[in-house]
Amino acid sequence: MLQTVLITLHNISRWLVLVFGILAAARAFSGWRGKKAWTPADDRAGMLFTSLLDLQLLIGVVLYFTSPFMLPILQNFGAAMGNSSQRFFAVEHVFAMILAIVVAHIGRSLSKKAAGDVARHKRAAIGFTVALVLILAAIPWSRPLLQFFGLFTL
């Protein structure tokens, strides 16, 4: 039961991360290219994106160490490295997502420290876009796109 809840939350938050990541990057690019003022809404978009990434990481770490799927991988890590699917979840997915979170946080932090509004938007746009590319590359697209508490899967 707990695994079903965690997988559902991890799955739903994936879509929230993507939506708010795209929103934050789009606002940053619009501000950068349009030479717009930095607004509280721009800051909120970046904050929501990074906060959702943090939530996603927390759920993912719990799943990593408690999931019945991960237990055999963790018990024989060497053998798992020879299986591309298991290696993806054990190393590649985790590494790329943590890197994406770090990049998004750096982008947000640098944008807050920038001297002018255009520089703020530019730093946010670059950081959020690189983070989104990493996220999109590391999502297991072969798995169900939406799982909802074991009631249905798309």
Does residue 153 lie within any of the structural domains? no
Instruction: Tell me the per-residue pLDDT of 7-50, one tens digit each, with 9 for 90 and over.
Output: 999 999 999 999 999 999 999 999 999 999 999 999 999 999 99
Does residue 151 lie within any of the structural domains? no
Helix (H) or strand (E) holding 97: helix 93-113
- What band does 146 get if pLDDT is binned at 50, 70 and 90? confident
pLDDT of residue 33: 97
Query: Which domain does 52 fall in, by range?
Result: 2-95+105-140
Does residue 51 lie within any of the structural domains? yes
Does residue 20 lie within any of the structural domains? yes
Instruction: Specify whether the CB–CB gap between 35 and 79 falls below 8 A.
Output: no
Looking at the 3D structure of the chain, how many domains does it have? Answer: 1
Question: Can you tell me the mean pLDDT for 85-96?
Answer: 94
- What band does 152 get if pLDDT is binned at 50, 70 and 90? low
Instruction: Tell me which DSSP letter residue 151 carries.
Output: T
In the predicted structure, residue 87 carries a pLDDT above the cut 80: yes
Does residue 148 lie within any of the structural domains? no
